[in-house]
Amino acid sequence: MKSIPKEMSFVVNLWGANSMLSKKIDGSLGAIHGIGFTEYMILFHLSNSHNNIMRRIDLANSVGVTASGVTRIVSPMEKIGLVMKEQNPRDARVSLVKLTPAGEVLFHDATTTIKQSSKRLLDGTSGEGLISALEVFKSICNDRYV
């Protein structure tokens, strides 16, 4: 293999790790809870927002999809009662998404699964290595996540 800059190697390996982790976590979440990692991240952001409610566009930006993409993800979640649409009382043009009580329960249960999967997937990785990686991710994401 040709020599590539360490920054490029990092980005390429990060993409590969993200793909592998997403597939494994998707499998765990799907088998146990019937949702994928993207749906979990919707629940995660709603659960961590003020009053469990977000503007649809802010939710899209948090998850890293387009406004139409978040609509395609949220619509089935709404049909099964995990989230609900609300109107903004001050601006009817703004669409809001709210976590329902059923969504809160699923989020709590799925978080337990993700904690177990994460521990299993990262077994053997040193605490110092995880802390270093987290610092890099926080820098890239501007501290957007936990």
pLDDT in tens, 65-105: 999 999 999 999 999 999 999 988 888 778 899 999 999 99
Give the CATH number for residue 44: 1.10.10.10
Q: How many domains does the chain have?
A: 1
| Sequence-distant (≥ 6) Cβ neighbours of residue 97 within 8 angstroms | 42, 46, 53, 54, 55, 56, 59, 70, 74, 83, 84, 85, 86
Q: DSSP letter for 124, please.
A: T
Model confidence band, residue 143 (pLDDT cutoffs 50, 70, 90): low
Q: For 29-54, give one letter per residue: b (16+ CB within 10 A) or e.
A: beeebebbbbbbbbbbbbeebeebbb
Q: For residue 58, what are the domain limits?
A: 36-114
- Write down the pLDDT at residue 82: 98
Say if 25 falls within a structural domain. no
Comparing 38-52, 107-121, 124-138, the range with the smallest average pLDDT is: 124-138
Q: Model-level pTM?
A: 0.86
